[in-house]
Amino acid sequence: MRPQFRVAVALLYSGVAIATTTPKVVDTKQDVTYVGLERNGIEVFLNIPYGQGTGGANRFKPPKPYVAAAGSTIEAKSYGPSCPQQLGDWAAPISLGNVTDVSEDCLNLNVARPKGACAGDQLPVMVYIHGGSFWAGDNHDPTILPDGMILESEKNGLPIIHVALNYRLGFFGFAQSDALESEGSENAGLRDQRLAIEWVRDNIGNFGGDGNKITIFGQSSGGLSIGMQIMAYGGSKPVPFQQGICQSQALEPGITGNFTIDAMRLLANHVGCNTTDLHSAETVACLRDFDTQTLLSASLDTYAADIAHNIGDIWLPVVDGDFLPAAPSQLIRDHRFADVTTMIGWCDEDVTIFTDTAITTPADTSAFISSYVPGVTPANIEHLLSLYPVSDFTANPALTPLSSEFFRAARIFRDILMTCQPMWYGEHIAAAGNDVYLYNWNQTILDPVLESITNVTGFGPIHTSEFAYIFGNLSHYDINGYPFNPAPEDYELRDRGSRSWSTFASVGKPGLEGRDTFQGIGKAFPSGGDEVYVFVAGGPHEGLSAIDGPGSTEVLRKQKLRERCEFINSPEIIEQLGY
């Protein structure tokens, strides 16, 4: 990125407007004007409210739409507040943001479009749902800024509009109790997302988008959010989108477990609200009486993020009989989900960054995995471990201090969370008659950054490795003095990776002949057989590969996904994983 472009990104992230023109959008039906700004050759409209404040009496409740007054002007030139979370930075290089302003009045979104786009252009729309363990994050972290993606889509000849949304997090977005269920107030964060997508459907035409051509996409808990939106209401209601991309998650163990109710109990006890019954209406009323900061502090004080607490994913969606009418696995088996074209994928070493680097022995691996999935019986843990012999994971001491057992544990962890469950979900989406594409992201610029932070090398393509490429700008990571030396192949993957994502939004397939996109990509589950195909994105062996058999490449074949995932996705293990 040019130096002045980096300065623009840094200043804009801090909320300072850098404008050369003043784009305006007029909603003639509602008589509302949006005034945005130009940056980096695109136009953005920031902090557009889609929902009312969620504090006080509205806390935990389904969001209420924000309706701007007729004749009003919304100055959409600086970012709005993030939803309540810890201030400061969080988990670099997975996130590079610095949260400075939080509020329960946080239901806002940002629209980015090609310069000169206008009503009637009918451009495809990509709606991004950020990750962060349902605990942190917002719609303007530097790693997910869409400027490069918009510009690459234009160069590709298939321009798109991008929208990024905030939604309630942690205790504020995923509080759980019988009383909340009875008033329809569980899964508030997911309901926020749904309202935002509906806002896009109903209003994006004013900005030049097509409200009937929406792709929702997200990574980590954002990917889980996409999975939940696809199965929302058991598929009984029309969805306000047509396609979805689940990046490094689509499901999660523990949704039907106790992580969230345990966290709820700790917090209620901490503030003195659990005097009668955690599930009572009195407890909910007590929690609604507190100010935001008191509850946020209590949430931070009672938070746990070790492997025994789901690496921090303790505030999870819940089966509430409404938004999630049954366990996700049951909804999937029954094909109670929307008919949408879907792309699902993971990073090659997705969770090495979350795996205990002290693991060196088989006992360490067994203890780590057993802590992660406490509902899986010892006998099944033993069988799971047997599917991953340490001989399959030979670490090179000349390249990394990490042990072979470390990589063994990380691969089991990855397959449970990031690979096998999403593949199973995708298989059912395809069986219902929808196109599904799978990918394995196999390139990263984050290794030297991680080395500078941890003094450890060899993590590989970790969680979020695709961000630098799909959002079209590697130089978002050229900050804080981190090592930054992308190779020519990184810039090449940036171009075709970003264009493949926006191409998917435009044509329903992440690649087109004659364009600088992924080539040779095909459906993951072609009809008439049991073959499974995964596109390896980046690295020295990019291309479509079967997971085994004659059409497989070494990079996929050595992962032994068929036998490993057949066990992880068996009914008994799904039940024990708790989703």
243 φ/ψ sector (left φ>0, alpha ψ -120 to 50, else beta): beta
pLDDT confidence bin for 8, thresholds 50/70/90: very low
Q: pLDDT above 90 covers what percent of the chain? A: 95
Domain ranges for the chain: 354-577
Which residues have a Cβ under 8 Å from the Cβ of 38 and sit 6 or more positions away? 19, 20, 21, 22, 23, 44, 115
Q: What percent of the chain has pLDDT over 70?
A: 96
Dump pLDDT digits (tens) for 185-221. Answer: 999 999 999 999 999 999 999 999 999 999 999 999 9
What is the structure's pLDDT at 7? 35
The residue ranking higher by pLDDT, 51 or 6, is 51
Dist. CA 139–CA 257, nearest whole Å: 29
Q: What number of other Cβ atoms are within 10 A of residue 394's Cβ?
A: 8
pLDDT digits (tens, 9 = 90+) for 502-528: 999 999 999 999 999 999 999 999 976
Per-residue pLDDT averaged across 158-171, rounded? Answer: 98
| Residue among 132, 140, 320 nearest 223 (CA) | 132
CA dist 522 and 439 (Å) reads 10
- Which residues, 6 or more positions from 182, have their beta carbon under 8 angstroms from its beta carbon? none
d(CA 448, CA 452): 6
**Segment 383-401 mean pLDDT:** 96
Q: What are phi and psi of 519, to 5 degrees?
A: -110, 145
For residue 515 the two structure tokens come to 């364009």
Query: What sign does the dihedral 361-366-369-374 (CA atoms) show?
Result: negative
pLDDT at 14 over 60: no
pLDDT tens digits for range 297-352? 999 999 999 999 999 999 999 999 999 999 999 999 999 999 999 999 999 999 99
| Residue 341 phi, psi (nearest 5) | -70, 135
pLDDT for 165: 98
Residue 9: pLDDT over 50: no
Residues designated as active site: 220
Mean pLDDT of the chain: 95
Q: What pLDDT, on a 0 to 100 scale, did the predictor assign at position 274?
A: 82
pLDDT, mean of residues 20-29: 90
Stretch among 45-54, 115-124, 126-135, 520-529 having the lowest mean pLDDT:
520-529
Under the banding of pLDDT at 50, 70 and 90, the label for residue 139 is very high
Q: Would you say residue 423 has pLDDT above 50?
A: yes
DSSP state of 232: G
Contact 117, 207 (CB under 8 A): yes
Which stretches of 433-521 are DSSP H helices?
A: 447-454, 467-470, 488-507
Could you report the per-residue pLDDT of 89-119, keeping only the tens digit for each? 989 999 999 999 999 999 999 999 999 999 9
Tell how strand 24-27 and strand 32-35 pair up. antiparallel
Backbone dihedral angles phi then psi of residue 73, each to the nearest 5 degrees: -120, 130
| Phi/psi of residue 317, nearest 5 degrees | -60, 160
| Token pair recorded at residue 303 | 């938070």
Residue 213: what pLDDT? Answer: 98
Q: Which CATH class is domain 354-577?
A: alpha beta
Q: Which two tokens stand for residue 512?
A: 């087109």
The confidence band for 21, taking pLDDT boundaries of 50, 70 and 90, is confident
pLDDT computed for residue 20 by the predictor: 54
The mean pLDDT of 285-295, rounded to a whole number, is 98
Within 8 A by CB and 6+ apart from 494, the residues are 148, 152, 468, 469, 472, 473, 474
Average pLDDT over residues 380-405: 96
Distance CA(30)–CA(32), nearest Å, equals 6
275 pLDDT tier (thresholds 50, 70, 90)? confident
**Encoded amino acid at 526, one letter:** P
Q: How far apart are CA 461 and CA 446, in angstroms?
A: 8
